[in-house]
A = this chain, B = another copy of it.
Amino acid sequence: MATLKQVAALADVPILTAYQALSGSAAVPQAQRQSVLAAAEQLGYTLHVTIKDVAALAGVSIATVSYALNNSAPVSAATRQRVLEAAAALNYRPNVNGRTLQANKTRLVGYGWHDVKRGSSASFLDRFTYWMAQAVESYGYHVLTFAHSEESPTDAYRELIQTNRVDGFILAHTNRNDVRIRYLMEARVPFAAFGRANDRWDFPYVDVDGRRGVELVTEHLIELGHTRIALIGWPEGSLSGDARVQGYFDALDAAALPVHSAWVRRAENSSAAAAAAAAELMALPSALRPTAIACVSDLMAIGVMNYLNSRGIRVGYDVAVSGFDDEPIAELVHPPLTTLRQPVDDLAAQVVALLMAELERIPAPQRQILVAPQLIVRASTDPKRQLP
């Protein structure tokens, strides 16, 4: 590709005039405009301002332009001025790909989508992605998203890193023995996760303190005077699920309240399974029947509420119900649901900060961070909050 300077020379006009004629950024006498257009046509030139053009206009070498623009070497005030003016006049923006190739750094962070099943709580992660993009950009990076299959998720990660598409990754939806984490650790690829895996692996992550969250809501229920408090958790074995259940025990222990084994039920994360668990709880003899049911997800809490409603049991008055996640639905259901909100923006910013520490090889003060969720009290536990 020819340069702007060559086009200008052929048309016998100043470089700046050639630029203006081609870009339409300023009026140019018709005759000059014509000859510039003809010259560009002849050379097969399409407007792409490069560092060479800026150098030519400023009358300096391309190295000097680079120095002046990046402050990467001392440049006299006068030349700097000339360079900046030339760059501005040509509306110059450096082509990141040149820089990428030379530095062997893409300033791109990979983020893999798993397949979001219909009805699963995706909205939270959606907002996470937004804040992640935002946070990453504050460091001059961008997010490259990709879809990975459930069967062999590591393939996509390996491919992206081997082809130098990205500098590192951010993971969400982690699980114990997450193959992606294992691969990235072994391959020494920089990454940071939103979510834990297991206690053996040492990698940078940020997670919601689910234990603390359920503890908070249980304390809230105790304060309201409940003494027979039930919990519907997920089947044992998930790190975050078990932590949430632990918070329930911790709060009851601290208050020296009795825990009856029949009060702790396990169910899949679906409203139907939670409704069934609620039915079992309500079938307990009246002396044991709970007056409050804490759930480890909003989805489950809604199942419980549906069941109670269908049995004519008034949620909030007769039985208190709480969830976890503060999904958009939580304030739309009837009565609005008490729940725990994850501070998404904060979580995203922190996980990005961890990744940046890895990428820039800055030792982070802390590689594992737990963030406490925020208790949002609504009418499902506290009828005083009921709207008229």
- A residues apposed to B, CB below 8 Å: 48, 91, 93-98, 100-101, 104, 106, 108, 111, 113, 115-116, 118-123, 125-127, 129-130, 133-134, 137, 142-147, 159, 162-165, 271, 299, 302, 306, 309-310, 328-329, 331-332, 334
Question: Does B164 contact A96, Cβ atoms closer than 8 Å?
Answer: yes
Which listed residue (B126, B133, B146, B302) contacts A133, Cβ 8 A?
Answer: B146
Q: A129-B145, A130-B116 in contact; A159/B93 too (CB < 8 A)?
A: yes
Question: Does B334 contact A306, Cβ atoms closer than 8 Å?
Answer: yes
A133's nearest neighbour on chain B, judged by CB, is B147
> How many copies of this chain does one complex carry?
2
A123–B327 Cα gap in the complex (Å)?
A: 11
A129–B126 Cα gap in the complex (Å)?
A: 9
Question: Does B328 contact A120, Cβ atoms closer than 8 Å?
Answer: yes
A159–B310 Cα gap in the complex (Å)?
A: 55
| Residues of chain B lying within 8 A (CB to CB) of residue A332 | 119, 271, 299, 302, 306, 329
Question: Does B142 contact A145, Cβ atoms closer than 8 Å?
Answer: yes
Closest Cβ of chain B: how far from A281's Cβ, in Å?
20
A113's nearest neighbour on chain B, judged by CB, is B130
| Residues of chain B lying within 8 A (CB to CB) of residue A130 | 113, 115-116, 147
| Residues of chain B lying within 8 A (CB to CB) of residue A329 | 329, 332
| Residues of chain B lying within 8 A (CB to CB) of residue A97 | 97, 100-101, 104, 106, 164
Closest Cβ of chain B: how far from A136's Cβ, in Å?
9
Query: What are 9 of the A-B contact pairs (CB < 8 Å)?
Result: A97-B100, A97-B101, A116-B126, A119-B328, A122-B127, A123-B126, A137-B146, A143-B146, A310-B334
Q: A143-B144, A328-B120, A329-B332 in contact; A113/B133 too (CB < 8 A)?
A: yes
Question: Does A147 contact B119, Cβ atoms closer than 8 Å?
Answer: no
Closest Cβ of chain B: how far from A15's Cβ, in Å?
19
A337–B164 Cα gap in the complex (Å)?
A: 47
Question: Does A331 contact B165, Cβ atoms closer than 8 Å?
Answer: no
Query: Can you add 17 more A-B contacts, CB < 8 Å, to A116-B127, A121-B328?
Result: A93-B163, A96-B164, A97-B97, A97-B100, A97-B104, A97-B164, A101-B101, A113-B133, A118-B127, A118-B328, A119-B332, A122-B123, A122-B126, A133-B146, A133-B147, A142-B144, A306-B332
A263–B143 Cα gap in the complex (Å)?
A: 47
A138's nearest neighbour on chain B, judged by CB, is B147
Question: Does B123 contact A165, Cβ atoms closer than 8 Å?
Answer: no
| Residues of chain B lying within 8 A (CB to CB) of residue A142 | 144-146, 165
Question: Does B137 contact A95, Cβ atoms closer than 8 Å?
Answer: no
A156's nearest neighbour on chain B, judged by CB, is B137
| Residues of chain B lying within 8 A (CB to CB) of residue A115 | 130
A97–B105 Cα gap in the complex (Å)?
A: 9
Which listed residue (B108, B119, B163) contacts A95, Cβ 8 A?
Answer: B163
A126's nearest neighbour on chain B, judged by CB, is B126
